[in-house]
């Protein structure tokens, strides 16, 4: 099952490795809280997770809790739960989009249609990995109070996790930093239409904010009303604004919604399963 669930891998810089896992296994981490609570199904999930990470050469990993789109980066001290079994240690408990990966360790980031960012300084091998759905790239509740009320983080003062990532690097270093975008939905399948009967008014406000702040090129055919948002173009525009070189933004080309046979996609099939991106820092 583990071998059949792995569809994509990459090596970045000298010491960073990435593995992207899709179907048939559901890589949802939500129920992995502490060892005493692991039911039989979750024990199997934990075993397969440990095999995937240890197969990359790591025996310790972190997994943030993606229960809100708060666009925060965690530190090691934010993780207050540890699951240990099969010679593998998993740190849980931090509510954040991602983190700077400690040397010799890995992070696991699940997602349906949302992208994962791997941000690498190729000279120092400092690497940040984070979940990057629209809710981390745009402070949506500011423009649409009806949006995803169960998971939306309120009171955020900044728009995008790219700003938080930019604060981790000096201006000189940003010019060489690479931003790799993995496994998410394309503009063909991702849209916020202004004629939506429930959200149309707020979608119009949201789309105009995106266009005014990050450019019309973020929308397919520059059409705000149809509202097809190119998340990779949005990431590239935000990266430019916060001092990164847009030529150093790379995309793996995977669209989850275009290939629901291999990838879980909420947009294509309204599925609840998750894909998984594992990022390890060997240095």
Look at the block and give the residue holding tokens 């993995």: 182
Enter the DSSP assignment of 56.
Answer: T
Enter the pTM of the model.
0.93
Q: How many domains does the chain have?
A: 1
Tell me the sheet residues that pair with 130. 98, 117
CATH of the domain at 122: 3.60.140.10
Q: Where are the beta strands (DSSP E) in 101-177?
A: 105-111, 115-120, 127-132
Query: How many Å apart are CA 160 and CA 166, to the nearest integer?
Result: 10
Q: What string of DSSP letters covers 215-246?
A: -GGGBGGG-TTT-BB-HHHHHHHHHHHTT--G
Q: For residue 74, give the H/E element and its range.
A: strand 73-74
Three-state DSSP class for residue 114: coil
Structural domain boundaries enclosing 249: 3-281
User: What was the pLDDT predicted at 4?
Assistant: 59
User: What was the pLDDT predicted at 238?
Assistant: 98
Helix axes 200-214, 231-241, angle to 10 degrees: 40
The per-residue pLDDT string of the chain (283 residues; one tens digit each, 9 = 90 and over) reads 555 565 789 999 999 999 999 999 889 887 665 554 556 667 778 888 899 999 999 999 999 998 888 999 999 999 999 988 878 999 999 999 999 999 999 999 999 999 999 999 999 999 999 999 999 999 988 888 877 655 656 668 899 999 999 999 999 999 999 999 999 999 999 999 999 999 999 999 999 999 999 999 999 999 999 999 999 999 999 999 999 999 999 999 999 999 999 999 999 987 889 999 999 999 8
Query: Encoding tokens for residue 44?
Result: 């199997």
Query: How many Å apart are CA 87 and CA 60, to the nearest integer?
Result: 9
User: What was the pLDDT predicted at 154?
Assistant: 63
């Amino acid at each position: 099952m583990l071998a059949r669930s792995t569809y994509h891998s990459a090596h970045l810089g000298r010491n960073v490795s990435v593995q992207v896992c899709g179907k048939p296994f559901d890589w949802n981490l939500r129920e992995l809280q502490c060892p005493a609570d692991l039911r039989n199904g979750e024990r199997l999930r934990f075993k397969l997770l440990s095999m995937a990470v240890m197969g990359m050469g790591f025996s310790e990993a972190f997994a943030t809790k993606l229960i809100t789109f708060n666009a925060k980066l965690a530190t090691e001290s934010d993780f207050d739960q540890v699951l240990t079994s099969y010679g593998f240690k998993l740190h849980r408990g931090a509510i954040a989009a991602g983190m700077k990966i400690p040397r010799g360790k890995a992070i696991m980031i699940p997602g349906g249609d949302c992208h994962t960012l791997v941000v690498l300084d190729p000279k120092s091998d400092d690497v940040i990995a984070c979940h990057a759905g629209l809710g981390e790239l745009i402070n949506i509740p500011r423009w649409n109070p009806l949006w995803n009320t169960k998971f939306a983080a309120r009171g955020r003062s900044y728009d995008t996790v790219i700003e938080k990532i930019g604060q981790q690097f000096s201006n000189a270093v940003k010019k060489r930093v690479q931003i790799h975008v993995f496994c998410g939905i394309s503009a063909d399948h991702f849209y916020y239409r202004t004629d939506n009967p429930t959200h149309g008014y707020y979608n119009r406000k949201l789309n105009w904010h995106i266009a005014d702040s990050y450019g019309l090129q973020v929308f397919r055919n520059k059409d705000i009303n149809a509202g097809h948002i190119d998340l990779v173009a949005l990431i590239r525009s935000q990266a430019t604004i916060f001092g990164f070189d847009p030529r150093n933004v790379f995309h793996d080309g995977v669209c989850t919604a275009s290939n629901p046979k291999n990838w879980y996609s909420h947009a294509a099939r309204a599925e609840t399963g998750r894909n998984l991106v594992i990022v390890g820092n060997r240095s």
